Amino acid sequence: MTTLPRREWWRPQATLAAAIPATTPAHADAVAPDSPIPFWALMAFTFMMLLAPHNYFPVLGPLRLAFLAAGVAIGSYVYDRLRRGQPLTILSPEIRLLGYLLGWALVTLPLGSWPGGSVGVLADTYSKTLVIFLLIANTVNTVARLRLIVGGLTLMAVPIALIGVKNFLSGAYIVGGDNVSPARIIGYESMMTSNPNDLALILNIIIPLALGLVLITRRPMLRAVLLASIGLQAVAVIVTFSRAGFLSLATILGVFGWTMSRRPERGWAYAALTLGVAALPLLPGNYLTRLSTITNIEADATGSAQERYAQQVAAVHYVLAHPIVGAGLGMNILAINETGLSPAWMNIHNVYLQYATDLGLPGLILFLLIFFESIKSANRVQRRTAASPHSRDLFYLATGIKTSLLSFAISAFFSPVAYQFQFYYIAGLAVAARAVEETAARAPERGGTR
C-alpha cells in the first residue's frame, strides 16, 4: 500500500498529484498525451489532396500516397483512442447533427433515383470527407496544432496560386482570352483545384486562415512572407475571373475589416483597404464586364450564367415536387435531367440546392444547422478570447476560421461541392477551436486551489 503525504491546506491539487509516487496506479493512460501520428498523417493527407504531387511526378502514382496517409491517420487514431480508453470522438453539436444528416441519407437511400449511385457517392467521396472532418475535430486539440495546420495550408496555397498566375501570364486558358469572353485559366492539376472556380474557392478558404496567422506572427520576416503569400493568393483569385471568387474575396475583406476596426491592430485593416483601392486600376481587362454578369446574366457571352440560372430554376421545381425525400445522395444530376428545364447531365452549381434536391428539405435543414453551429463555435471562441491577451492567438485563429466559413457560404451559391472536403475541413477546424478553448478554460479549475 502506498502512503500519501498529508495534504497541507496551501498545496495546490496539481502539486499534490505530482507528489504521488510513480508506483501508484494513477490511471496514467487516462491522462497520457495523445499520439502525434494521427495529426501528422492528417497533414500529409492534406498535402497529397491539395498539391497532388503524383500528377507532377508520375512515379509516385502507384504508391497511392493519399490513401496511405489517410489509412495511417485513421488506424493510428483509433488505436491511440482505444489504448487510452477514450471515446472515438468528441460529441459536439456539429458532430451530432452530422450523424443525423448521415442517418437521413441512409434512410432515404433506397427511395432515391439510383440507390446504387448514391452508395457509390457515399463510399467514394462523402465517407472520406466525414472521416477527415472527424480527424480534424479530434486531433487538432491544441493551439500549437491549430497554428501548424493553418500554417501548412498557407504554405500549400503558394504553389497553387503560383500556377494560377503563371497560367494567366502564359495564356494557358481553358476558354476565352479575347475581346468577347474573359480568359479562364487552367487550374492547378489536382482534384480540388483543376478548374478556375475550384481554384478560387480553395484559395478563398485559405486566405482568411492566413490572415489570422499574420496577426499572431511576431517575427517581421515571417510576417512579410505570409503577407506575400496572401497577396499572391488574392491575385490568383482575381485572374480566375471567378464571380463567386470575387464575391467571397470581398466578403473576406469586409468581415476582417469589420473585426479589425474594433481591435488595437486596426491599422492593418486601413492598410488593406488602401492597398485594395490602389490596386483597382491593375485589374485585368474584361474583369469588370465579367462581374457585371452577376446581376445582368443575359450579358454573359459565354452562356454560363444563363446555364446556372436554368439549373437553379430546375432544382427549385424538383424540390417543390419532392420536398421530403429527394433524388438520393449525390443524384441531383439525375433529378435536374428529369425536369428537362436545364442543360442535361450537369451537377447543380449550388451546395444548398444540392442538399435540397438530393435529401429533400430535411437534408438541407440539417446541413444548414451544421453550418450555423460551426459559425457559432468559431464565434464563441472569438467572444470568449477577445479580452484576454493570453488567448490572442486563439482569437485570431478563430476569426480566420469564422471568416473562412462565411467565405464558403458565398461560394456555395455557385459551387457543386456539397460532399467534398472544402466545407467540412473548415467546419472541423471550428469544432477543434471550440474544444481547445473549452479545454483551456477548464485548466485553471483543475490546477487551482481549494
- The more confident residue out of 153 and 387 is 153
- Predicted pLDDT at 3: 45
Q: What is the pLDDT averaged over residues 229-247?
A: 94
Lowest-pLDDT choice from 234-238, 307-311, 367-371: 307-311
Q: What is the pLDDT averaged over residues 425-438?
A: 96
- Residue 9 placed within a domain: no
What is the distance between the alpha carbons of residues 444 and 441, in angstroms, rounded to a whole number? Answer: 7
Q: In this model, does residue 156 exceed pLDDT 70?
A: yes
Helices (H) and strands (E) in the chain, counts: 19, 2
DSSP summary character for residue 123:
I
What is the distance between the alpha carbons of residues 57 and 299, in angstroms, rounded to a whole number? Answer: 42
Lowest-pLDDT choice from 15-19, 343-347, 440-444: 15-19
> Whole-prediction pTM value?
0.88
- Residue 450 placed within a domain: no
Residue whose C-alpha is closest to residue 279's, from 259, 303, 249: 249
With a CB cutoff of 8 Å and minimum separation 6, the contacts of 275 are none
Confidence of residue 279 (pLDDT cuts 50, 70, 90): confident
- Predicted pLDDT at 341: 62
Task: Say if CB 329 and CB 112 are below 8 A apart.
Answer: yes
Judging by DSSP bridges, how do beta strands 184-185 and 173-175 pair with one another? Answer: antiparallel
Question: What is the share, in percent, of the chain residues with pLDDT greater than 70?
Answer: 88
DSSP summary character for residue 23:
T
- Predicted pLDDT at 19: 38
Q: In this model, does residue 20 exceed pLDDT 60?
A: no
Q: Output the DSSP codes for 195-213.
A: SHHHHHHHHHHHHHHHHHH
Round the CA-based radius of gyration of the chain to a whole number and report it.
24
Report pLDDT digits (tens) over 66-121. 999 999 999 999 999 999 999 999 999 999 999 999 999 999 999 999 999 999 99
With a CB cutoff of 8 Å and minimum separation 6, the contacts of 428 are 132, 133, 134, 135, 136, 137, 140
- Residue 21 placed within a domain: no
Q: In this model, does residue 159 exceed pLDDT 60?
A: yes
Confidence of residue 1 (pLDDT cuts 50, 70, 90): very low
What is the distance between the alpha carbons of residues 3 and 35, in angstroms, rounded to a whole number? Answer: 32
- Predicted pLDDT at 154: 96
Confidence of residue 275 (pLDDT cuts 50, 70, 90): confident
What is the distance between the alpha carbons of residues 109 and 85, in angstroms, rounded to a whole number? Answer: 35
- Predicted pLDDT at 449: 42
Which residues are bridge partners to 175 per DSSP? 184
What is the distance between the alpha carbons of residues 164 and 183, in angstroms, rounded to a whole number? Answer: 12
Lowest-pLDDT choice from 40-44, 50-54, 191-195: 191-195
- Tell me the C-alpha to C-alpha distance, in Å, between residue 78 and each of 89, 96, 131, 139, 340: 10, 19, 12, 11, 47
- Residue 66 placed within a domain: no
- Predicted pLDDT at 338: 77
Q: In this model, does residue 14 exceed pLDDT 50?
A: no
Report pLDDT digits (tens) over 406-421. 999 999 999 999 999 9
Q: In this model, does residue 42 exceed pLDDT 70?
A: yes
Q: What is the pLDDT averaged over residues 160-172?
A: 92
Confidence of residue 199 (pLDDT cuts 50, 70, 90): very high
Overall number of domains in the chain: 1
- Predicted pLDDT at 422: 95
- Predicted pLDDT at 23: 38
- Tell me the C-alpha to C-alpha distance, in Å, between residue 60 and each of 277, 328, 360: 44, 36, 41
- Predicted pLDDT at 5: 43
- Residue 360 placed within a domain: yes
User: How many C-beta neighbours within 10 Å does residue 278 have?
Assistant: 9
- Residue 192 placed within a domain: yes
Q: What torsion do the CA atoms of 354, 359, 364, 367 make, to the nearest 10 degrees?
A: -90
What is the distance between the alpha carbons of residues 60 and 55, in angstroms, rounded to a whole number? Answer: 8
- Average pLDDT, whole number, for the chain? 86
Q: In this model, does residue 11 exceed pLDDT 70?
A: no
By residue range, what is the domain housing residue 170? 38-51+86-443
- Residue 204 placed within a domain: yes
- Predicted pLDDT at 303: 74
What phi and psi, each to the nearest 5 degrees, are found at residue 173?
A: -110, 150
- Predicted pLDDT at 176: 63
Q: What is the pLDDT averaged over residues 158-163?
A: 96
Q: In this model, does residue 424 exceed pLDDT 90?
A: yes
- Tell me the C-alpha to C-alpha distance, in Å, between residue 268 and each of 191, 220, 250, 262: 34, 14, 16, 12
Residue in the structure block whose three cell numbers are 490513401: 67
- The more confident residue out of 266 and 241 is 241
Q: What is the pLDDT averaged over residues 265-291?
A: 77
Confidence of residue 27 (pLDDT cuts 50, 70, 90): very low
Residue 42 corresponds to which cell in the numbers above?
492528417
With a CB cutoff of 8 Å and minimum separation 6, the contacts of 95 are 89, 134, 137, 431
Q: In this model, does residue 182 exceed pLDDT 80?
A: no
How much of the chain is helix, strand and coil, in % rounded to 5?
70, 0, 25
Lowest-pLDDT choice from 108-122, 229-243, 267-281, 430-444: 267-281
- The more confident residue out of 184 and 282 is 184
- Residue 406 placed within a domain: yes
- Predicted pLDDT at 177: 57
